[in-house]
């Protein structure tokens, strides 16, 4: 789904003296009041807005005699100023900054330079936090003044936060070349999508958060430094502070706009590359004996117990008898239908199996079928955070991981867990064919491959399979939610099951996945290299048997990739899909994919009063 960008009101920047006076005397809003109405902004954008507003208020306090008297009584104006900025820094520390995969970004030269500047800013910020945590009795004005001067120093041969901020801004968005760092990263991410447990959009958003927080910390130190130097009578510095604020706002507006466009254009899909070492029922699983090669004498394929017909005669038959003394006495009888006959004229040695016959099927229920579990989702705002194929009691499930949804699209990581599978067995009195599970057969062996993504404002709360004609079809349960509070909105009434209802008989029919059309496909675990995606949305595949020549048709293919598709860090999902990964001459794997929640709509490029009010 494409992100719907909200149009934001633009405020013309003005630095006139009249406007400064009006702002200074009339703007008394608290950070909470300023943020009212902007509550659907992302966490980092809202924190930035709050920090800037608090800094503006702090500038006004510096000239108030009441504040000066109170500050002197509590250890001095400089100590009080440091305490105020400690509270501002505490608010910034609540923002989660996700480490960026270093190997992914190591080829990007521009990002490497940005990281150098980032380390300089964060190094000074660490000292800043140390000063904030020191008791008032350890007041060291000379050291604080040196720190402030280092932050805002503007000489050619001296490094400073001011210079680092300007250099970062120019590298993030180059006005001359129109190049920007997020575009460069997007190209690198798109070519490594399955090697990282994040969607491309998730990576770009996390990098955006990291860059914004680094610059916000730099801006905070700069404003603190101008205030402190003013308190120490080193100058007035209101013009420098105002110029710094104006430049910062303009840089952030430009960066947010670029981020909105780039992040909105990035894919929210995530899936897994093949495991390096394949282990059955750990990294992959499979159906057995849905379609399997079976050696039988022609005399046992007809009621007359005769020979002499061609294979075409036995296109759809069964084993009627076991000729006396024949090979059939040494192997288990095929209880199903026999199709796709092939004559073998050469001598061969046959190894018979002693494994019992079994069938593998798909469940139609999802975790919400149980009423008690469903109520748990409603009460705790639990949403789907990951998917995986798993086999239990001869049933292949699409198992979900869930977590508690928090404000601002975050997930309570301590609540994340894989939902237990229902303990029922096929054929038992408490299991219901066609309701609890679907039975696969020759006539009903099609699986639809779709990408099911909800519109903006919805998160995924369940998945299930259904029968659509003779096809198995994926459905996804979507529920609206409040981004600010993290609460699901009337999930009992407003949740919807969405799917792709298109069939191979529609006006624009689904297309068969042709890579599985061959009857000579080997099992995927023998492949020489990594399987690659070869399916698209709105297609379907037919389960078949493995190669007669290379595998004696002993496996039902394709296999299932059983690796968890779990974004890290954990995040709410907005959709799910099924895909096929394959190689020429190999049957490949069916794999789940997930779609992370689209954060592009929540990036703020409207700075409101901060775009025009003076900080002094």
**Chain segment 303-334, per-residue pLDDT in tens:** 888 888 888 787 788 888 887 666 677 777 77
**Which one has a higher pLDDT value, 448 or 439?**
448
pLDDT of residue 151: 95
pLDDT of residue 45: 93
- Please compute the mean of the pLDDT values over residues 499-509 and round it to a whole number: 92
Decide if pLDDT at 360 tops 50: no
Taking every pair of Cα atoms in the chain, the longest distance, rounded to a whole number of angstroms, is 112
Decide if pLDDT at 368 tops 50: no
Decide if pLDDT at 355 tops 70: no
Using one digit for the tens of pLDDT, what is the confidence trace for 531-582? 999 999 999 999 999 998 898 888 999 999 999 999 999 999 999 999 999 9
- Please compute the mean of the pLDDT values over residues 431-443 and round it to a whole number: 83
Contacts of residue 153, Cβ cutoff 8 Å, sequence gap at least 6: 159, 160, 162
Using one digit for the tens of pLDDT, what is the confidence trace for 232-269? 999 999 999 999 999 999 999 999 999 999 999 999 99
pLDDT of residue 356: 41
Share of the chain above pLDDT 90, in %: 58
Backbone angles phi, psi at 189, to 5 degrees: -65, -40
Structural domain boundaries in the chain: 43-268+602-611, 284-289+359-423+433-597, 298-339
Q: Is 339 exposed, middle or buried (0-12, 13-18, 19+ CB in 10 A)?
A: middle
Question: What's the per-residue H, E or C state across 388-427?
Answer: EEEEECCEEEEEEEEEEECHHHCEEEEEEEECCCCCCCCC
Decide if pLDDT at 7 tops 70: no
Q: Which H or E run contains 384? A: strand 382-392
Q: How many CA atoms lie within 13 A of 594 on its CB side?
A: 33
Place of tokens 């290379």: 550
pLDDT of residue 292: 79
- 3-state secondary structure at position 294: coil
> Token digits for 490?
């009337």
Q: How confident is the model at residue 105 (pLDDT cuts 50, 70, 90)?
A: confident
Using one digit for the tens of pLDDT, what is the confidence trace for 269-310? 999 999 999 999 999 999 977 877 777 888 888 888 888 888
- Please compute the mean of the pLDDT values over residues 77-84 and round it to a whole number: 93
Q: How confident is the model at residue 348 (pLDDT cuts 50, 70, 90)?
A: low
Decide if pLDDT at 29 tops 50: no
- Please compute the mean of the pLDDT values over residues 466-491 and round it to a whole number: 95
Question: Which residues sit opposite 389 in a β-bridge?
Answer: 398
- Please compute the mean of the pLDDT values over residues 582-591 and round it to a whole number: 97
pLDDT of residue 23: 31
With b meaning 16 or more CB within 10 Å and e meaning fewer, what string describes 206-221?
bbbbbbbbbbbbbbbb
pLDDT of residue 609: 61
Decide if pLDDT at 30 tops 50: no
Using one digit for the tens of pLDDT, what is the confidence trace for 53-76? 999 999 999 888 888 888 888 888
**Which one has a higher pLDDT value, 115 or 99?**
115
Q: What is the pTM of this model?
A: 0.86
* CA-closest candidate to residue 121, choices 44, 185, 31, 212: 212
pLDDT of residue 17: 27
Using one digit for the tens of pLDDT, what is the confidence trace for 380-393? 689 999 999 999 98
- Please compute the mean of the pLDDT values over residues 11-32 and round it to a whole number: 34
Decide if pLDDT at 216 tops 70: yes
∠ CA 531-584-353, rounded to 5°: 85
How many of the other CB atoms lie within 10 Å of CB of 530? 12
Name the average pLDDT for the chain.
Answer: 84
Decide if pLDDT at 34 tops 60: no
Q: Is 396 exposed, middle or buried (0-12, 13-18, 19+ CB in 10 A)?
A: buried
Helices 77-93 and 43-61, interaxial angle, to 10°? 170
Decide if pLDDT at 187 tops 70: yes
pLDDT of residue 325: 62
- 3-state secondary structure at position 180: strand
**Which one has a higher pLDDT value, 112 or 343?**
112
Share of the chain above pLDDT 70, in %: 85
Decide if pLDDT at 218 tops 70: yes
Q: Is 157 exposed, middle or buried (0-12, 13-18, 19+ CB in 10 A)?
A: exposed
pLDDT of residue 137: 64
pLDDT of residue 27: 38
Rounded alpha-carbon distances, angstroms, from residue 461 to 268, 362, 437, 477 = 17, 19, 20, 5
């Amino acid at each position: 789904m494409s992100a719907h960008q909200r149009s934001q009101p633009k405020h013309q920047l003005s630095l006139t003296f009249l406007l400064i006076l009006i702002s200074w005397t009339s703007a008394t809003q608290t950070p909470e009041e300023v943020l009212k109405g902007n509550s659907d902004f992302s966490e980092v954008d809202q924190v930035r807005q709050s920090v800037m507003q608090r800094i503006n208020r702090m500038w006004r306090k510096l000239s108030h005699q009441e504040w000066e008297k109170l500050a002197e009584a509590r250890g001095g104006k400089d100590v009080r100023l440091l305490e105020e900025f400690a509270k501002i820094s505490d608010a910034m520390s609540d923002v989660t900054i996700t480490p960026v995969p270093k190997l992914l970004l190591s080829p990007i030269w521009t990002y490497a330079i940005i990281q150098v500047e980032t380390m300089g800013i964060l190094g000074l910020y660490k000292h800043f936090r140390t000063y904030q945590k020191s008791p008032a009795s350890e007041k060291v004005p000379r050291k604080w003044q040196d720190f402030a001067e280092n932050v805002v120093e503007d000489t050619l041969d001296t490094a400073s936060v001011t210079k680092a901020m300007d250099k970062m801004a120019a590298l993030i968005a180059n006005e001359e070349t129109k190049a920007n760092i997020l575009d460069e990263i997007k190209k690198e991410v798109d070519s490594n999508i399955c090697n990282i447990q994040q969607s491309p959009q998730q990576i770009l958003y996390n990098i955006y958060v990291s860059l914004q927080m680094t610059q916000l910390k730099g801006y905070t130190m700069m404003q603190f430094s101008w205030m402190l130097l003013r308190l120490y009578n080193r100058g007035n510095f209101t013009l420098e502070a105002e110029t710094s604020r104006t430049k910062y706002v303009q840089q952030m507006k430009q960066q947010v706009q670029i981020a909105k466009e780039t992040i909105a254009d990035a894919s929210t899909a995530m899936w897994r590359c093949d495991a390096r070492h394949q282990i059955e029922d750990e990294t992959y699983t499979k159906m057995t004996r849905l379609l399997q090669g079976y050696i039988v004498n022609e005399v046992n394929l007809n009621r007359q117990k005769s020979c002499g017909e061609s294979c075409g005669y036995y296109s759809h038959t069964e084993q009627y008898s076991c000729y006396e003394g024949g090979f059939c006495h040494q192997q288990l009888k095929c209880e199903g239908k026999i199709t796709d006959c092939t004559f073998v004229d050469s001598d061969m040695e046959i190894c018979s199996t002693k494994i019992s016959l079994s069938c593998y099927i798909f469940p139609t229920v999802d975790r919400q079928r149980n009423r008690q579990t469903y109520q748990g989702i409603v009460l705790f705002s639990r949403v789907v955070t990951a998917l995986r194929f798993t086999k239990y009691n001869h049933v292949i499930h699409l198992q979900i991981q869930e977590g508690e949804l928090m404000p601002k699209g975050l997930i309570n990581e301590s609540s994340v867990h894989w939902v237990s599978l229902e303990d029922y067995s096929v054929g038992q009195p408490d299991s219901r064919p066609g309701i609890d599970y679907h039975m696969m057969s020759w006539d009903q062996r099609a699986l639809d491959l779709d990408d099911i993504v909800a519109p903006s404002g919805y998160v995924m709360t369940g998945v299930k399979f259904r029968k659509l004609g003779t096809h198995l079809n994926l459905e996804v349960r979507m529920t609206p939610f409040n981004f600010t509070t993290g609460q699901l909105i009337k999930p009992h009434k407003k949740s919807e099951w969405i799917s792709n209802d298109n069939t191979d008989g529609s006006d624009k029919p689904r297309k068969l996945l042709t890579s599985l059309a061959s009857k000579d496909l080997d099992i995927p675990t023998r492949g020489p290299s990594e399987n690659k995606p070869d399916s698209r949305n709105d297609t379907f595949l037919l389960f078949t048997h493995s190669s007669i020549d290379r595998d004696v048709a002993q496996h039902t293919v394709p296999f299932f990739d059983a690796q968890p598709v779990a974004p890290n860090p954990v995040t709410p999902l907005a959709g799910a899909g099924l895909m096929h990964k394959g190689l020429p001459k190999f049957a490949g794997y069916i794999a789940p994919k997930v779609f992370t929640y689209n954060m592009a709509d929540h990036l703020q490029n409207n700075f409101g009063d901060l775009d025009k009010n003076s900080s002094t």
